[in-house]
């Protein structure tokens, strides 16, 4: 296959995948408020700090503040001052937030399971192999590969 044909086919196929219902559910976990809720829910503590969210999710402090305001209005998070340091704000999931993120994860797991069934065992394994290979290319991702079980590792946290 020629390079120009490869580029054309990749653009066409990635566009189709991006516009699919399954991808929409997955993409939602990589952006905005759901990304923040997912991170908070996976924290080993009962709370996170806004600066931690900004650093871990590579979002500006202004974007984090706006998202936290919205999530608080929806009653998905609560913010409280740290008992020993009133300058620190502790961000925690509420029961509503926990229920919401669990339902979103259930839908993602169902979508990925459906995709795996449609692809079959061999193609599903090949897809994971190729995606892992792409993730191993530092100049493609601009960072190190996610360690299994880390926040960045989808299979270790969201499902």
Q: What mean pLDDT do residues 78-106 have?
A: 95
Does the pLDDT at position 159 exceed 60? Answer: no
Query: How confident is the model at residue 146, as a pLDDT?
Result: 56
- Please report the DSSP string for 38-79 in residue order: HHHHH-SSS-B-HHHHHHHHT--HHHHHHHHHHHHHTTSEEE
* Structural domain harbouring 20: 3-157
DSSP state of 86: E
Does the pLDDT at position 153 exceed 90? Answer: no
CA distances from 44 to 47, 94, 112, 152 (A): 8, 16, 26, 15
Query: How confident is the model at residue 141, as a pLDDT?
Result: 57
Domain count, the chain: 1
Q: What is the CATH number of the domain that holds 53?
A: 1.10.10.10
């Amino acid at each position: 296959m020629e390079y120009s044909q490869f580029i054309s086919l990749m653009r066409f196929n990635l566009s189709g995948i991006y516009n699919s219902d399954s991808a929409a559910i997955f993409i939602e976990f990589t952006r905005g408020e759901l990304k923040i809720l997912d991170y908070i829910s996976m924290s080993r503590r009962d709370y996170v700090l806004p600066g931690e969210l900004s650093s871990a999710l590579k979002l500006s402090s202004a974007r984090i503040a706006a998202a936290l305001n919205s999530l608080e209005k929806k009653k998905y998070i609560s913010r409280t001052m740290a008992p020993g340091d009133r300058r620190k704000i502790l961000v925690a999931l509420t029961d509503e937030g926990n229920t919401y993120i669990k339902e979103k994860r259930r839908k993602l797991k169902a979508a990925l399971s459906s995709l795996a069934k449609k692809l079959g065992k061999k193609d599903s394994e090949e897809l994971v192999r190729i995606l892992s290979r792409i993730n191993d290319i530092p100049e493609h991702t601009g960072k190190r590969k996610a360690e299994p079980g880390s926040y960045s590792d989808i299979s270790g946290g969201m499902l």
